[in-house]
Structure 1
Amino acid sequence: MSLTLLAIAAAAATHTTHIEHRGASVEAIYSARTDIRMRTVGAHTPNRMDNRRCQWTATVIIERQLSGKPVLARTLHGDRPLSGSQSGPCTAGTRAIDREIAHRDDAIQAQLLAVAERDRAPLLAELDAVHNMASN
């Protein structure tokens, strides 16, 4: 059985940066959330011990918003998914998985900062392209 959930365990992970572009300051706001995919493995048979496990993987998704420029919003992905395993079926362990991801907030924040730093050059290129299109 496979179960997919979208959790907002990393809703508190945000980062704001200011970029100077052609004499104007542009504020970029990066927000992280996690997309959790779960899969129950193992079997549960009557009169035997339950040996099912929930294997989960959480991908960090970062959304970029620019102040005053909703056209340049973009969704970026972190480079290192988080993963783990929980005893029992996935339907019974969703709260425990959310808590485990919340305890890994430092890893989510590190990915958020790394993605924001890597996005600096592409963001400047997008701002230049929009400026060039507007001036034509």
Structure 2
Amino acid sequence: MADSLQIHFEFFGDGLDPDEITAFTGVLPSSTRRKSSPNNTSSWSLSSENPSTEGSFTEAIEEFMRTLYPHVEKFRLVSERPGISCGLALWWTVDSDQEPRPAMRLGVEAIAFLGAVKASLDLDGYERL
């Protein structure tokens, strides 16, 4: 099977209103969720359309990040609201016997974006047995 990479940029928090985030930023999310119990939180997220299976992980990350850059100022203002957090998640899966492992890199522009919007970075790798 091919390697896969899923990329998610998300705002989350108990007081977050996903519709208000969409209206303010002008960006349509891939998914939203409203808090419905004490065990979950509201969220607004953009995700890569399909897990990347061609090219390099670095190229897929750079392509996804280019869709975020034009919105940095509005995303920064959202992230500064009380009770709202922001994060970028990279989840990849590779075959357990694959050598060498695929590499990925975040460029200076991507790191500057994450700093500007005060986003955490979640990296999760999985092996397909």
Provide TM-score, normalisation by structure 2: 0.27
> Which has the larger Rg?
1
Write 1 or 2 for the structure with the bigger share of strand.
Answer: 1
Q: Bigger relative contact order, structure 1 or 2, given CA contacts below 8 A and separation 6+?
A: 2
